[in-house]
Amino acid sequence: MSIAESSVLAMTVLLGIPVFWFCIQIAAACFFRQQFEKTIEMQFENLPHRITVLVPAHNESANMLPTLRAVLAQASESIHILVVADNCNDDTAEVARQEGVEVIERHNTALRGKGYALDFGIRHLKANPPQVVIVLDADCLPENGVLAKLANRAMSTSRPVQALYLMNNLHSPGLKEKIAEFAWLVKNHVRPKGLHNMGLPCHLTGSGMAFTWEVLQGVSLATGDIVEDMKLGMTLTTQGQAPLFSEDTVVTSAFPNNREGVASQRTRWEHGHLAMMWHEGLPKLLKGLISRDMALVGLSLDLCIPPLALLVTAVLAWELLTGIYALASGNSAAFLISLVYLLAIASSVGLAWLKFGRAVVTGRELLMAPVYVLAKLPVYARFLFRRQAEWVRSKRDNETK
């Protein structure tokens, strides 16, 4: 085998690693079963935990009332709500105080980002620490009973617990919006469920996260990273505190409907993920393999799966290149393997749709997914030439500026 043939085959095999880990996760979500240990959880379910729901909020006065009222509806004497009004220039703090919750204000325009707000809140709580801290974004709604369940599971396992965090289209969605919602469903529900069914941890997704106070003492939250939740989950897994996926505790939010908000949100997520693949995914994968830490290996491999649209684009591009190579050299092995990758991704996406996604998008609409893929290509191009490295809040639909 020539050097050229070896190189092409090696690149093809490397591309197959994220492809097949993605497919394995989907299959595990659809066909494996692993139930939460109810016997352990029952030891804690009737205890009066001291719970703080920590709500970081930046200029959220027009959006946070449904969130606060949903939390207050579940609140008891043991549940305390703390809003961190972070670098606000509106009346977020006053709106929260009118609902009867505790508010602290942070002003530091040099250090911007959700991580700094969370750190500010945790340092405030040190004077009288709770047993469990639940982080909830200011535009998220927890379903009834979620807070108590999350606290119970964090206490019973002494691990971080991640609720199922879903985003919905509240307005009349078009094709791209429906497919974006389905992609979110695959990323935040199907794949974490697959990891959980294999006995592996999940990523933290930013809202609906529960931590015991002891777990929080071992990490630094003061960061301006644009995907601080994902980085925190990797750090905790490295320290032996791998996050646990909790499928039956659901928090929801809504996709922005304005073009500027959609673009900002998409860019932050995609650029943050791609940067994390390089800075955290590959080094942590190597560390996990050396230490034989399967939790770290599994989560690192998951982090190394690029966004689905980019994964499909990469496989299609490699299929084209290996097709040209096959015509020039007569060696079609890499081309055929890449074709298998495409069929495997298509089959897995179809399986995820059959099991989880039919209420979100129709089969006919899903066949138009290449339109969604093409729409995201400029986001990936900007990662190469104009990468977003700082946290930027997405514009809300009720904002005029």
Tokens representing 326 are 């096959």
Distances (CA, A) of 216 to 2, 78, 122, 272: 53, 19, 8, 23
Digit-by-digit pLDDT tens for the chain (401 residues) are 688 888 888 999 999 999 999 999 999 999 988 755 554 455 555 555 689 999 999 999 888 999 999 999 987 777 899 999 999 999 999 999 999 999 999 999 888 888 999 999 999 999 999 999 999 999 999 999 999 999 999 999 999 999 999 999 877 778 888 998 999 999 999 999 999 999 999 999 989 999 999 999 888 888 877 678 888 999 999 999 999 999 999 999 988 775 564 555 666 667 777 778 888 888 999 999 999 999 999 999 999 998 888 888 889 999 999 999 999 988 899 999 999 999 999 999 999 999 999 999 999 999 888 877 777 777 666 666 665 555 555 555 455 44
Whether the full predicted model's pTM is greater than 0.95, yes or no, is no
- Tell me the two tokens of residue 33: 């079963």
Contacts by residues 63-66 (CB-CB < 8 Å, ≥ 24 positions apart): 63/138, 63/139, 63/396, 63/398, 64/92, 64/95, 64/96, 64/138, 64/139, 65/95, 65/99, 66/141
Handedness of CA 46, 48, 52, 53 (dihedral sign): positive
Asked if 349 contacts 186 with a C-beta cutoff of 8 angstroms, the reply is: yes
Tokens coding 20: 């097949």
How many Cβ atoms from other residues are within 10 Å of residue 214's Cβ? 11
Pairing of strands 161-168, 209-212: antiparallel
In the chain the domains, ranked by start, together with CATH numbers, are: 8-32+301-385 (no CATH), 38-287 (3.90.550.10)
Distance separating alpha carbons of residues 31 and 381, to the nearest angstrom: 37
Residue 150's pLDDT is what? Answer: 94
Which of 318, 275, 253 has the alpha carbon at shortest distance from 12?
318
Nearest to 132 by CA among 103, 152, 104, 102: 152
End-to-end CA distance of the chain: 61
pLDDT for 271: 74
The helix/strand/coil state of 6 is helix
Q: How is residue 60 written in tokens?
A: 């959220």
Determine contact, residues 299/25, Cβ cutoff 8 Å.
Answer: no
Q: State the Cα–Cα distance between residues 231 and 178, nearest whole angstrom.
A: 28
Cβ-based neighbour number of residue 138 at 10 Å: 25
Helix (H, G, I), strand (E, B) or coil at 193: helix
Side chain identity, residue 66: P
Q: Which of 203, 232, 46 minimizes the C-alpha distance to 122? A: 232
Q: Which of 349, 343, 389, 387 is nearest to 369 (CA)?
A: 349
Rounded Cα–Cα distance for residues 381 and 279 (Å) = 19
Please provide the DSSP assignment of 69-94 as one string.
Answer: HHHHHH--TTEEEEEEEES-SSSHHH
